[in-house]
Structure 1
Amino acid sequence: MKLKMTGYFVGIFLFLLELSTSAYGFEAQNERSIHKTMPDKQVTIISISGLSFMELKSEQLDVLPHLRQMIEQGAIGAMNIRTANRTMRDVYVSMGAGEPTVGLTDLQAFEADEMWQGTLIPKLRERYIGRNVGDNSLQLNPDSLIVPDIARLLKVNAKKAYGPGMLGDFLKAYGIQRTVIASGEESHISSVDGDKVRRYSPLMLMDSNGFVDKGVLGRGVLTAAVDRPFGVTTDYAEMLALLGKREPSSVYLIEFADLYRLYADKEHYPEARFQELKTQILLEMDQWFGQWMSAMKDQESLWLFSPEVHNEAARGKMYLAPLVHYTRMSQGGLLVSESTRRPGVVTMQDFTSTLMDECHIPLPAGLSGLPLSTSLKANALGDLQQELSSIQMIYRSRPLLLYPFVTCEMVVLLVSLFYVMWVRSGRFPWRRTVRTLLYALLVAPAVMLILGLITVPLTKVLGIDNSILLLIGLFIGGSLLLSAALERRSLFTSMIWLAYGTAGIIMMDACIGSPAMKYAVLGYDPMIGARYYGIGNEYMGVMIGALVLGVTAALQRRGRPVLRGLGPVAAFLLVTVCLAAPSLGANAGGALSAAVAFGVAGVHCFAGDRWRELRLGRGAALLTALLALGFGALWLLNSADSPAAAARESHVGRAFHALRAGQFDQIGYLIERKLRMNVHLLRASAWSKVLITSLFVMAVLVLRPRGRLRVWKAENPYWMYGFSANMIGAIAALLLNDSGIVAAATMIIFVAVPMLLLRLQELETTLKTAEE
């Protein structure tokens, strides 16, 4: 009866939680002006390679009035353009595919009447592809652009859901003309000068046959200029003239490369001359913007983005690139994406989906990007710049704080193991220091999370560099102070407070929109697109491990399960369902891992003696049932029929859509991607070393002295059940998450450290007994 009442309570709580978060989603939606378009939409996309947010600072925009107008009256966002190789060719191909895709260094686009290595481009393509493949009418069009080596690009990306050319195929199918005008060359000579050719922008609008309807590349829009980098500059007047006559339904991609060429040639210039040229280039582009914006019609849409930030921005860890949308009807604000749920931060896949939405093209199933919308906001650029400073500060803090901490974890674990195994004489000197350091490993994630709350104000007041130093000092000091306070109390009391407190802080933060996790060093990483919302794998492992430890420590201290597990079961259910809830982020692997860890802990603690020895058959049946329950919770909360998913769909919900539509190839690709990521992290991530170190420490403690495990089971049975549940949960997290190494490492710490503390307590008890 009590268990049933617990279920009702949890159900009501979650229903109210979903309503509150769903209401937030509806409210935000009403505040946005969704980009709906009129028929015969004309879209112009301006790509400025080398542009970053460094060029959009207020003092710079003071001399760029038209760019300022575009930003203030339009909508601005920071776009994640990270790809596997961090090159603009990958960005262009990825935008054309609607998903992260790999480009090729020597793959270029050409005008139909050009030659390459003595061969006409149509003939070169015919050599590779054959005569009867593709659109023959386009092959004969002298204005078209051709990627002759398209077959090699498609072969490299054969396992993608749609692959290169997806965007171009849909634009072509819906009768929308595609035109690319690009000035990316580093030479005004013929395209035979191969080392100077940079023809990557057409890869965004080409179809899967390697064709773009119309285009002008390189020499057609370049003019010789001896005083400019590489002796060339963009012919802005010619670019404007080429845009004069447009089809009623068309997408134009305009690439300006003067800024890129300047940074590529920077080493030859003194700083004063470099800044003079940079200002001149930006002014020329700004004048062109003004001419084009004044000629725009009501149905026209203008986008501006950067496919690659320049080297100075990259060195400063400013990897997010500007994305601006402008129409004559714009009112100013931030670009908003449901893919990131973070105003102002968007993905390049969102941009692709938005272009298709603007052209009234139904989005195909399986695209990860979602159409962008605009949240009306005054001073949007200023607020976004402040947000980017905080993101930049956290990104730069990681190698200075997180990586040394991971190394410290391994050192403390090994030193503590040596201490409890081999120190045998005297009064165990430094034991309080060792115990304090072990507690510090457990409190550190909570301290990192709490510090996320002060990241933004710190950055505003102190700037990035000073904030990093203060953040590191506060982390070290806060962790040691909390650890020293816990060390003075009894082991089980300390574990209960620490574990419940850690799990509670993470859960509370997630339920109110993750204001701390957004800026925590162990939290999200928008720079690389690791995760934008919900509970990430790092804190998922911490929360599950801490909650299991806290519950079993409380049961162990009381000596029997109080209220037959009413409170623990309610906590387990609440955390599992919240990990599955779409409005809180829907961490699918986390929900399944929680179902396994909590289920095993619950069975051990409350199901009676018969289930405490899980033999192979019974254990397999239990794990299967727990995974089925976890999957069922994900399905109920994230499927299309769920009210929660209808209000705010997550990436898990989109995966269920693909499953229901029978797109098993996409599910298979998703699983393969997760496995590849785990294999990569196993070799490259420092967390894999933490996991291995923890397993080694645990193995030594169990095997030496012989029979120790049997003694612990007799004296601390509930805590041993918690250790077992966390071990099995860590294995589940490792197998069920795309960065499972991280989740398993953060979870297993809540086994290795308590085992060391338990052994240390035994040694102290033995010493006291001997003295008496």
Structure 2
Amino acid sequence: MTKITPKKIYIVTLILIINLIILNTRSYAEEQVEKNVYVVIINRLTLNDLSYIKTLDKLCKDGSIGLMNTRGSNGYYGADGYITLNTSSRAWASNNTSLFVNLDKSNNKIVYKRRTGRNSNNFQIGNLNINKLLEANKDEKYSPYIGALGDTLHKYRHKTAVFGNSDTADTFVRTNCLIAMDSKGLIDFGNVDTILIEDNTYPFGIKTDFSKIIKEIKEIRKKASLIVIETGDLNRLEFYENNLSYDMYLYHRTRILKDIDNFLKDLIKIIKKENSLMIFISPNSPNTKLKEGNKLTPIIFFGQGIKKGLLYSDTTRRKGIVANIDIAPTISNYLGINSSLYSGNPIKIIKDDNNKAYIDFLNRITKFVSKIRPQTLNIYSIFTIIILIISATIMFYYKYFKSRIKKISLLLLIVITIPIVLHIVSIFRHYTINKFIIYTMVLFLVIFSAILLIKDKYRLVFVLGVTYFTILLDILLNSKLTKYSVFGYDPIIGARYFGIGNELVGVLLPTGIIFLGLIIDKIKRKYFILLISILTILVVAHPNLGANFGGTITIAFANFCFLIKIQEKSLNYRNLFLTISLIFFIILLMGGIDLTINPNPTHLGKALSLLINKGPFALTNIVSRKLNMNIKLIGTSIWTKVIFTNIIILSIMLIYLNNILKEMINNNKFFSYSIISGIIGSLAGFLMNDSGILLAAIASLYISTSVMYVTIGYVVKRCTKEVGK
């Protein structure tokens, strides 16, 4: 038996102490995080607010700034904007589905387990209504993965933390937790229950305890990779505004902004820039009481690797504009995690020494175009309805209006000249209604004067050709005009940020195909048409140019039908099958190019990927969404009235001007082929696009106007013959 001596006891004790020290050191090291991401929520923030938050304004000089689209599944306000930051795509939430509580109270743990059937283990914050949230998003049109960011971080053993809330006197408002939770509604660390202090001079008599947040962040920053901080008071002011006059609202807002400024000064002092990324964000758009009228909110990046510049993502492909779905992949990317869960893309930095000035410009021009866009298009649609009705009435009763028949052609030219004027005028970068009206009128007079210098028989060809080639050239030159055109896309709506939208497809389709039909009738040569048709299809389809999936099908259908007709062949089942096969081939080709060259595929590439991975039935959600949107627009849009007006006018022309139309068609065979092809393309556009009614209405406007314009010449001849008799 071995004898135990004091020396051996000493050695064993020393070894045990050393092992304990090593184990503790390892345990402590495991708790250390290499990087921190701080998401600081200043909800309802505007660019003008930066003049009060001096710290943020200063950070723009050392960091990067941009504008963020805040749209969730159903709007720009409330919990939608928060949860979309943490999902695979746009999602829906409400205060009721965001009942987050601290789980350190035993009763909350019991409630969580009773409702979910799971233990909350060591998580400090949980959503007691997580099941309601998941259930509510099952049938959402974007099929979001709820808690995608939280699950990704937990999968790679990163911890999350949340501090603060926007509670009012009688309501829990803890939507900030939606940003960090996983799919179980759990967050590792934080405090959302005891983070407010009483202050009767603030809305609801409460305010955020910023000193407590600073203290608790100091304790947790070595454990949590993602730390979400809700400043809260600005959001509370939003809920309290109905109790305030405008002056008192501004008074409280100014105080709160200065409080936030002081908090940010203290926060930055404890942040290590060399291993931290700070994201200052406003998930919801600004308060309507401020009359800002803009649903894009400022977003600022500061920290490791962030240079002075502008934010950019492959989702928007717009310098200075990003989407809320880009936040989750950006956080994952910074922490060294690759994930295929997100539909957004990591945000990048474009160096720009005048970043703040550019964002001010971008904010003003985007807000202005968004404001006048629906008004201008509505006025234009009403104007066209009136002109078409007047013109059609005079044509139908031409025997009584013989002296005025020829003047109708000028009215019709005005109708089809206005869109290209509204498109080109965007080059002037106007910011006020008065300037927009003046520039538009001057440009219209210049273009229309040039049209009047041309012989009657070439005027329609000229207008259609200028419109067609201007749009095509603009797409090839990175859509310089389209980005700020009322016929372009609106980044505030967020349906499209680049390429060619349905409005311009509705213009490009008829102008191109009718232009070609008129040209063939005049020069009697048709072989070069194939080249132009293919060029148009490829430009609309290419992922780095038009990037419009529905538009590709629309343009391809119209052009292939036209090519069949000019070969004097009928549109029988065989030829229609051939057309569909060619379109399918183009989609495969362009979709393959999209998936190959783009890290972030467009709708075309995503649709092809979905088709390959999940089969044809996976596309039913896309088709269903497009049909539902069209059904909604049919009942509410002014463009429904435009398309019905055009259908009625063409139908009446077939009845009352049948003989004149026959004569026109016999003498303008290829023009009539282009009209038929344009109608087929419009129908395809209606069925294959989210806002297909708008595309079809604009296209039908050009079709009926062109038919009326060409027919007028034959009506005039008929009047002349009758006068001679």
1:44 aligned onto 2:38: yes
Aligned to 1:517: 482
User: Which amino acid in structure 2 is aligned with residue 435 of structure 1?
Assistant: S
Aligned to 1:448: 422
Aligned to 2:168: 186
Q: CA RMSD in A?
A: 2.5
Query: Conserved in 1, the CA contact under 8 Å of 2:412 and 2:709?
Result: yes
Aligned to 1:614: 571
Q: CA deviation at 1:633?
A: 3.8
SS in 2 for 1:72: helix
1:201 aligned onto 2:208: no
Deviations 1:486-537 (A, max 9, x none): 4675554112111111111001111111111111111120111122111111
Aligned to 1:546: 511
User: Which amino acid in structure 2 is aligned with residue 395 of structure 1?
Assistant: S
Could you tell me how far apart the structure 2 residues matched to 1:275 and 1:489 are?
58
Alignment of 1:727-746 (within 5 A): 727-746=679-698
Identity %: 23
Could you tell me how far apart the structure 2 residues matched to 1:481 and 1:453 are?
15
Aligned to 2:495: 530
Unaligned 5+ segments in structure 2 are 1-31
State which drifts further: 496-505 or 391-400.
391-400
Could you tell me how far apart the structure 1 residues matched to 2:186 and 2:41 are?
20
Q: CA deviation at 1:176?
A: 1.2
Q: CA deviation at 1:329?
A: 4.8
Query: Conserved in 1, the CA contact under 8 Å of 2:426 and 2:484?
Result: yes
Aligned to 1:375: 350
RCO comparison, higher one (Cα < 8 Å, 6+): 1
Alignment of 1:50-129 (within 5 A): 50-56=44-50, 60-61=51-52, 64-83=53-72, 84-113=74-103, 120-129=107-116
Aligned to 2:286: 310
Could you tell me how far apart the structure 1 residues matched to 2:401 and 2:420 are?
35
Q: Residue 469 of structure 1: which of 424, 434, 441 is its match?
A: 434
User: Which amino acid in structure 2 is aligned with residue 310 of structure 1?
Assistant: P
Query: Conserved in 2, the CA contact under 8 Å of 1:260 and 1:310?
Result: no
Flag the 1:633–1:313 CA change in 2: closer, same or farther, 3 A.
Answer: farther
Q: Residue 216 of structure 2: which of 224, 242, 250 is its match?
A: 242
State which drifts further: 440-449 or 420-429.
420-429
Could you tell me how far apart the structure 2 residues matched to 1:542 and 1:698 are?
19
Alignment of 1:749-768 (within 5 A): 749-768=701-720
Query: Conserved in 2, the CA contact under 8 Å of 1:75 and 1:335?
Result: yes
TM-score (norm 2): 0.89
Flag the 1:750–1:227 CA change in 2: closer, same or farther, 3 A.
Answer: same
Flag the 1:238–1:376 CA change in 2: closer, same or farther, 3 A.
Answer: same
Could you tell me how far apart the structure 1 residues matched to 2:92 and 2:225 are?
27
Could you tell me how far apart the structure 1 residues matched to 2:265 and 2:618 are?
44
Q: CA deviation at 1:647?
A: 8.2
State which drifts further: 477-486 or 335-344.
477-486
Deviations 1:181-236 (A, max 9, x none): 1231113xxxxx4xx22121112222222222223114x11100011111011111
Q: CA deviation at 1:126?
A: 4.0
Query: Conserved in 1, the CA contact under 8 Å of 2:76 and 2:285?
Result: no
Alignment of 1:345-356 (within 5 A): 345-356=321-332
Could you tell me how far apart the structure 2 residues matched to 1:716 and 1:214 are?
75
Query: Conserved in 2, the CA contact under 8 Å of 1:266 and 1:274?
Result: yes
Deviations 1:58-90 (A, max 9, x none): xx25xx432222222111110000231332201
1:362 aligned onto 2:327: no
Flag the 1:662–1:272 CA change in 2: closer, same or farther, 3 A.
Answer: closer
1:596 aligned onto 2:557: yes
Could you tell me how far apart the structure 1 residues matched to 2:387 and 2:217 are?
65
Could you tell me how far apart the structure 2 residues matched to 1:479 and 1:418 are?
26
Kindly tell me the number of residue pairs found equivalent between the two proteins.
Answer: 688
Q: CA deviation at 1:684?
A: 2.3
Aligned to 1:497: 462
Deviations 1:522-568 (A, max 9, x none): 1120111122111111111211210111111111123x3x2x422x2
Could you tell me how far apart the structure 2 residues matched to 1:409 and 1:485 are?
22
Flag the 1:161–1:363 CA change in 2: closer, same or farther, 3 A.
Answer: farther
Q: Residue 131 of structure 2: which of 142, 147, 151 is its match?
A: 151
Deviations 1:588-615 (A, max 9, x none): 222222211111111211x2x3x1x323
Aligned to 1:330: 306
Aligned to 1:28: none
Could you tell me how far apart the structure 1 residues matched to 2:217 and 2:382 are?
57
Query: Conserved in 2, the CA contact under 8 Å of 1:582 and 1:650?
Result: yes
Q: CA deviation at 1:682?
A: 2.1
Alignment of 1:254-265 (within 5 A): 254-265=229-240
Query: Conserved in 2, the CA contact under 8 Å of 1:595 and 1:629?
Result: no
SS in 1 for 2:175: coil
Could you tell me how far apart the structure 2 residues matched to 1:506 and 1:212 are?
50
Could you tell me how far apart the structure 1 residues matched to 2:648 and 2:456 are?
23
Could you tell me how far apart the structure 2 residues matched to 1:683 and 1:426 are?
36
Query: Conserved in 1, the CA contact under 8 Å of 2:394 and 2:401?
Result: no
Aligned to 1:210: 185
Aligned to 1:390: 365
Q: CA deviation at 1:587?
A: 1.1
SS in 1 for 2:544: helix
Extract structure 1 runs of 4+ deviating beyond 6 A. Answer: none
Query: Conserved in 2, the CA contact under 8 Å of 1:406 and 1:686?
Result: yes
User: Which amino acid in structure 2 is aligned with residue 74 of structure 1?
Assistant: G
Could you tell me how far apart the structure 2 residues matched to 1:544 and 1:476 are?
26
Flag the 1:105–1:708 CA change in 2: closer, same or farther, 3 A.
Answer: farther
User: Which amino acid in structure 2 is aligned with residue 511 of structure 1?
Assistant: L
SS in 1 for 2:512: helix
Query: Conserved in 1, the CA contact under 8 Å of 2:161 and 2:188?
Result: yes
Query: Conserved in 1, the CA contact under 8 Å of 2:286 and 2:294?
Result: no
